[in-house]
Chain A
Amino acid sequence: MIPASFEYQAPKSVDEAVKLLASLGDRGKVVAGGHSYIPIMKLRLAQPEVLVDIGRIGELRYVRQEGDRIAIGALTTHAQVAANATINGSCAVLSETALEIGDQQVRNRGTIGGSLAHADPAADYPATILALDAEIVVQGPKGRRTIKATDFFTGMLATALADDELLVEVRVPTVGKGAGGVYLKLPNKASHYAVVGVAAVARLSGGRVSSLAVGITGAGSTPIRAAGVEKALTGQTASADAIAKAAESAAEGLDLLADIHGSADYRAHIARVYTRRAVAEAVRRAGG
């Protein structure tokens, strides 16, 4: 549990960090709260040449309401997301998700940007970020760009973030009147990561589902949207039967994982059950 030697850099601004990353190429590795990457370093599974600690960049710690979106700085900790009044009031599903992560010590250190950039296939945030249709703002040498959550997760521990880019902000929509969201997970009893985690965000209009988004983490190598479920229910009356029927397709499109914490067919089963429960709860919270 002792990392190999590395050089340590702690830029004070985003511009400085981005310049540093550009100059380092693949020699540099960004760390924020350090709760995913430092354990890997301690096992010497990762031996970065230069560790770029962005933890001192104060400008990345904020939560702001911007119209119908909430802008969350990348360094906002899980504990802050869980406790923030703006997020709690306008996007409670994200706060609830943050509370599901690790334990209090982890939540005090770990950051939303770090978690998303690391893209652990069993992390909690990805399900909710996907279900919220969030946007992820990154900054590189050529400036800023915005990546849709649905385009962000590209594979196991892989994202659309380039080596020379820094994840700077997460933008989530408000989940207001007529809408409801929830995150449910079956935790791995050892790590408390998700064996399966399902986030559902539903909007109702005139007794029908006007939109539904379901994000699933943990079950597969990459978090996904359960498109089949969403399609089956959109425009429909969200009866218990309809939800149950739609949830049957929840595991479609998952590249199922299998390990001592859950076989592929168990994960698929849980994805279906939890999707049904999550959608029903999201609809209930939406006023349905």
Chain B
Amino acid sequence: MAVMRLVGAKVKRVEDPKLITGGGQYTDDVRMMDMLYGYVHRSPVAHARIKSIDVSKARQVPGVVAVYTAADLGDWAAPVPAGANITGLQLTRRYPLAHDGKVRLVGDAIAFVVAESRYAARDGSDAIEVDYEELPAVVDIEKAADPGATKLYDDFKDNVAYRIQVGDKAAADAVFGRAHKVVSLKINNQRLVGNPMETRNCVARWDQGAQQMTLYVSSQAPHLAKTFCAGALGLPEHKVRVIVPDVGGGFGVKIDTYGEELLCARASMLLKQPVKWSEDRREHFVATVQGRGQVNYVDLAVDANGKFLGMKVKIFADLGAFQQMNTAVVPTLSNLMLPGAYEMEALHGELIAVYTNTPPTGAYRGAGRPEATHLLERVVDLAAAELGKDPAELRRQNFIGAEKFPYATRGGVMYDSGNYEPALDKALAAVGYKQLRAEQAKMRQSGSKLLGIGLSSYVEICGMGPSAAMGGIGWDSATVRFDPSGKATVLTGVSPHGQGQETTFAQMIHDELGVPIEDVKVQHGDTDIIQYGIGTFGSRGTPVGGAALLKAIERVRHKARQVAAHLLEAPVDDVVYEQGRMHVKGVPGKAVTIQEVAKLCMLEAQKLPPEIEPGLDATATFEPSNFTYPFGTHIVVVEIDKETGEVELKRIVAVDDVGNVLSPLLVDGQIHGGIAQGIGQALFEGAAWDENGQMVTGSFMDYAMPIASELCEYELGYTVTPTPVNPMGAKGCGEAGTIGVCPAAVNAVVDALSGYGVKDIDMPITSEKVWRIINKGNGR
């Protein structure tokens, strides 16, 4: 009999034993009789007209079963799902294979080879001959927007996908007119590659008899994949089943439905055999959406006391060569979050999204918010330096007051709840801020190392989100279903792929229904089993999926109480549900258990009164009324070797407020992972292309991911400001770490280098960049 509450307790992940002992089943583990293997022949050049494609030799390669080009497939498929409701958007129509005689990035898909083995498929690809007429590559984000720039799409007027404004330009101009000081920065927010441990994979199996498609895919959004694939393949939606096995990480890049899924599906329909495609790591660097990729100009106007008056921001956002599902929408999240944690009288932002001959961008942990937080938290630090103020105190001075929530920002959103100062204070206390500043001053006098202390006080937007702001897909669903023996199954519409809702949702069932955690199974990722739902992204799994579950739980509990009322011969309102036992108020000695009720509802249904239906299950959906807005303060301490420029992480203190915490260990884990990726952007990662559009960081030999030994211990803390948006009061925590820590790390390095006349330093911060600043004084 369960006696304690597990929500809020440090419960270990129930899914871990399987995953850690190699018991996970991933998409690439799916093997079928007569399965064929697909390989995508990709462009070696960034921008070219295709003069000819000759696949005849490829078709002769032993083991090759079929080779498809866009011409072979004809007009069978709709474009890869993409789009956003943005006025004036020049929307690309992108087919799974280059269909309009042009390639637009290195790695662009040209042909699909299907063979009896991966080896034969690759050999077939090598035998394909393509004649290219190369065109100039568009790589530079700002130059791409020039009216005279080489165009990626002949029928577009230029490379600008869209241009939108936020805030009020006249109001911003007015406050800038009376500013004591305007602080300006240009920020390069570099491209990042998602790099989940498991790359993308899919297996398509067409059942000719049933006329049904089964698609195994490593995805964050199985139901969306079903809808998109059905649409693209011209199949009735109930004849498409998407199964998402275990997923080895997504970070946003697996929300999309990609061309390869459609290619496998179509090939399977034509060949009547299952077809598997597995992305290799090098392909991942060119064939999967990437993160960030912005150039930001920011001007912050302050008065003589350090009060922020207003901000002007110009964002150039790199969409890459074409649109995937979230490509256009991600930069708009930057726009929304520009004012961050601060009050200001006016804001004006301009966002210019451009096409370049590089892989498409999309959602990647943080997705648009890290860019906004970064430019803001960097310019706030610069303002502090130029005003001679302590960066912590300047932040405190400009925070939105706790009494002002819910708070309508100049960015056009409504912050749900917030109380920013306690998180700042807690972080300052944890790091020992005053002593550190004293130590820093001492080290500046002498010594071979420089100490840097960097803060970042972020607010982010997550718990995505209300359907009205999410193109209609902000809700989610859950079913609670009992077996006659009293075991419970949760069918969730979200699609956890590392977040741990198998544990969190089981904790909720335990607490609300009194079912032991080991008697709960959380099922997700099979569209034939699970009711329609949306998926896991934008830190929504628990805030939205969990809220739907809570509603379903309430319905099941109500029914159980009705049954108990009948058995106890009491009015339902007098029945108390306590830890899995139901009794009449004031008579705890005589009780029925949820297990007894479950058995009765299914195997002894004759005992039910006529007004109660047999069975014990319920489905519910949840539509959030708003996004949620987690916040916090992160502090990073670094030491810099003056001679070599090497940056050593000494401390990372993260105080986050993600509302009520249901699973403390899992939230810690999410913050940990988020921090690693935020530090990754600050100090390690950066995708780069040469002027011809060739990627120069196309493998782990050149693209640096942080490894455990290069990070430091994380010191975590929390404040708790519940959100009113969902009944658990939980805000979501998947992206907070990434968003908060990255600017803190850069601020720490710039702080360490404050004696060297440097305003900013491009990420990733390498030892050579630091060395150049120290030794050449050539900071921007």
Query: What is A's interface to B at a CB cutoff of 8 Å?
Result: 1-2, 4-5, 43-44, 103, 186, 188-191, 260-263, 266, 269-270, 273
Contacts and interface: CB of A to CB of B under 8 A. Distances in A.
B701 interface: yes
Given A1-B281, A190-B703, A260-B697, 10 more contacts: A1-B282, A4-B123, A5-B123, A43-B282, A103-B707, A186-B644, A190-B697, A190-B701, A191-B702, A266-B771
A261 B697 CA distance: 10
Contact of B646 (A44, A186, A269): A186
B168 interface: no
A190 B644 contact: no
Nearest to B701: A191
A273 B281 contact: no
A5 B119 contact: yes
A265 to B, nearest CB: 9
B702 A269 contact: no
Interface string B698-714: 00111111010010000
A260 B702 contact: yes
Contacts of B701: 190-191
Contacts of A43: 282
Interface in B109-149: 118-119, 122-123, 126
A286 to B, nearest CB: 23
Contacts of B123: 4-5
B29 to A, nearest CB: 18
Contacts of B646: 186
A2 B119 contact: yes
B122 to A, nearest CB: 4
A190 B119 contact: no
Given A189-B704, A190-B702, A260 B771 contact: no
Nearest to A263: B768
A261 B702 contact: yes
A189 B768 contact: no
10 contacts: A1-B281, A4-B123, A186-B644, A189-B684, A190-B701, A191-B700, A261-B702, A262-B768, A269-B644, A273-B643
B681 to A, nearest CB: 13
A221 to B, nearest CB: 17
B193 to A, nearest CB: 12
Interface in B634-692: 643-644, 646, 684, 688
B22 to A, nearest CB: 15
B696 interface: yes
Contacts of B768: 262-263, 266
B766 interface: yes
Contact of B122 (A2, A189, A190, A262): A2
A190 B697 CA distance: 9
Contacts of B704: 188-190
B227 interface: no
B607 to A, nearest CB: 61
B697 to A, nearest CB: 7
Q: Which of A1, A5, A43, A103 has the most CB of B within 10 A?
A: A1
B696 A273 contact: no
A158 to B, nearest CB: 20
B710 A189 contact: yes
A230 to B, nearest CB: 22
Interface in B722-780: 766-768, 771-772
A43 B126 CA distance: 12
A265 B684 CA distance: 21
Q: Would you list the 7 A-B pairs with minimal beta carbon distance, nearest first?
A: A190-B704, A189-B704, A1-B280, A2-B122, A266-B768, A191-B701, A190-B702
Contacts of B767: 186
A116 B705 CA distance: 27
A228 B19 CA distance: 55
A269 B771 contact: yes
Contacts of B643: 273
Contacts of A262: 768
Contact of A189 (B766, B771, B772): B766
B646 to A, nearest CB: 7
A1 B644 CA distance: 36
Interface string B258-296: 000000000000000000000011100000000000000
Q: Which of A43, A44, A260 has the most CB of B within 10 A?
A: A260
A269 B643 CA distance: 9
B281 A260 contact: no
A2 B118 contact: yes
Contacts of A1: 280-282
Contacts of A188: 704
A4 B126 CA distance: 10
B696 to A, nearest CB: 6
A5 B118 CA distance: 12
A26 to B, nearest CB: 22
A44 B126 CA distance: 10
B190 to A, nearest CB: 12
B281 A190 contact: no
A269 B775 CA distance: 11
A266 B646 CA distance: 12
Nearest to B282: A1
Q: Which of B646, B688, B697, B704 has the most CB of A within 10 A?
A: B704
B28 to A, nearest CB: 13
A260 B696 CA distance: 8
A157 to B, nearest CB: 15
Nearest to A266: B768
A114 to B, nearest CB: 18
B252 to A, nearest CB: 22
Nearest to B764: A189
A263 B776 CA distance: 14
B644 A273 contact: yes
B282 A270 contact: no
A188 B701 CA distance: 9
Interface in B604-651: 643-644, 646
Contact of A260 (B688, B707, B710, B772): B688
A191 B704 CA distance: 7
Contacts of B281: 1
Contacts of B697: 190, 260
Nearest to B643: A273
A196 to B, nearest CB: 10
Contacts of B684: 189
Contacts of A190: 697, 700-705
Contacts of B122: 2
A151 B122 CA distance: 41
A179 to B, nearest CB: 27
A231 B772 CA distance: 30
Contacts of A270: 644
Q: Which of B644, B684, B703 has the most CB of A within 10 A?
A: B644
Contacts of A103: 707
A190 B122 CA distance: 27
Nearest to B62: A5
Q: Which of A2, A190, A270 has the most CB of B within 10 A?
A: A2
